[in-house]
Amino acid sequence: MLTLPKKPKIIEQKGNQAVFEIEACYPGYGVTLGNAFRRVLLSSLSGAAVTGVKIKGIQHEFSTIPHVIEDVVQIILNLKQIRFKLHTDQSIKFLLKAKGEKEVKAKDIKITSEAEIINKDIHIATLTDKKAELEMEIEVESGLGYLPTEQQKKGKLEVNKIAIDAIFSPVLKVNSSIENMRVGEKTNYDRLRINIETDGTITPKEAFLKAAKILVDSFEVFTLLKEKSAKSKTDSGKKTVKVKKEKKEKPAKSKSDSNKMDISKIRVEDLKISSRTRTVLNNAGLKTVAGLVRKKGKDLEKIEGMGSKGIVEIKRALGKIGLTLKL
């Protein structure tokens, strides 16, 4: 019998890093669960990152800024290290203005209530003269995984805007380890440990729970195949089952009043006949099987649009449920 693992627990936590332990995993399931968690944690959790920047007086990333030690490429690399936490799904633009001789850090960015900067001490640039001036517009967006500049639609880029490769994932590092453990008399069960390190925008516990929910929701979709098949089978066989029930429990050959009431509940459209024959019977006012079995073959021949093939079809359908036309 396949046993489920025990409830996960945190065995070590320090800052934005934590180690989760899952015991009593069925043999081989440690690798299965560890790989699934690692893939989801690194690729499927949403986060925020800088996707573009406009620097006053600069047209491309291969430029230098007067009285600034760092060139534009280095400034962009520094901006990519800033971790934002957005409270909206919309992209937001932030301003940074600095003058004079100073060191510019992430905390100098003017943010709104819709965002937070987690690592405010990240170095951006160094201004070396009183005449130095640095002004930029930083665009931050939410997303999943990694977005290279090649995938950003260049047609929508503003004039002088420099696109930046964006790493949205809030998880910096994930690794897993597996060791054997004893469960009852067996010693080949897996003990899985998952080490998660985040960027501070979410806690390791939040990352673990979000990844678990994504996996559960994804696998739950596969169970819909069984539900859909069962529903389809019920819908397609609903009428047939009803007719068979009448045949098994209440034989139509009996002419008692109770059986007449039963067959009166079976509609012509429940019979396995062609849509053309069904339409002809409905037009003639024959909508129930009870009314149909009162008719003789000669009576059906008089119905407009009814041919010999249709009568044979009706007799065959009635025969399958133990009924016949009136002799």
Structure tokens, 32: 């299965």
List, by residue range, all CATH 2.170.120.12 domains of the chain. Answer: 46-165
Multiple choice CATH, 236-320, 1.20.1250.20, 3.40.640.10, 2.60.40.10, 1.10.150.20: 1.10.150.20
Tell me the CATH architecture of domain 46-165: Beta Complex (2.170)
Reduced to 3 states, what is the DSSP secondary structure of residue 82?
coil
On whether the CB atoms of residues 33 and 219 are closer than 8 A, the answer is no
* Residue whose token pair is 């067959």: 263
φ, ψ dihedrals at 16, nearest 5°? -95, 20
47 - beta bridge partners?
A: 143
Structure tokens, 82: 């800033």
Angle at which helices 224-249 and 204-222 pack, to 10 degrees? Answer: 40
Task: Determine the Cα angle at 204 with ends 90 and 82, to 5°.
Answer: 45
How far apart are the two ends of the chain, measured CA to CA in Å? Answer: 62
d(Cα 99, Cα 133) in Å, to the nearest integer? 5
List, by residue range, all CATH 3.30.1360.10 domains of the chain. Answer: 9-45+171-222
Counts of helices then strands in the chain (DSSP H, E): 9, 14
CATH topology of domain 9-45+171-222: Gyrase A; domain 2 (3.30.1360)
On whether the CB atoms of residues 56 and 75 are closer than 8 A, the answer is no
Angle at which helices 29-43 and 204-222 pack, to 10 degrees? Answer: 110
- Predicted confidence pLDDT, tens digits, the chain (327 residues): 688 999 999 999 999 999 999 999 999 999 999 999 999 999 999 999 999 999 998 888 888 999 999 999 999 999 999 999 999 888 999 999 999 999 999 999 999 889 999 999 999 999 999 999 999 999 999 999 888 888 776 556 777 889 999 999 999 999 999 999 999 889 999 999 999 999 999 999 999 999 999 999 999 888 888 665 566 656 655 544 444 444 444 444 444 443 444 666 687 777 878 777 777 787 777 878 787 778 887 788 878 777 777 788 888 888 777 778 876
List, by residue range, all CATH 1.10.150.20 domains of the chain. Answer: 236-320
On whether the CB atoms of residues 2 and 186 are closer than 8 A, the answer is no
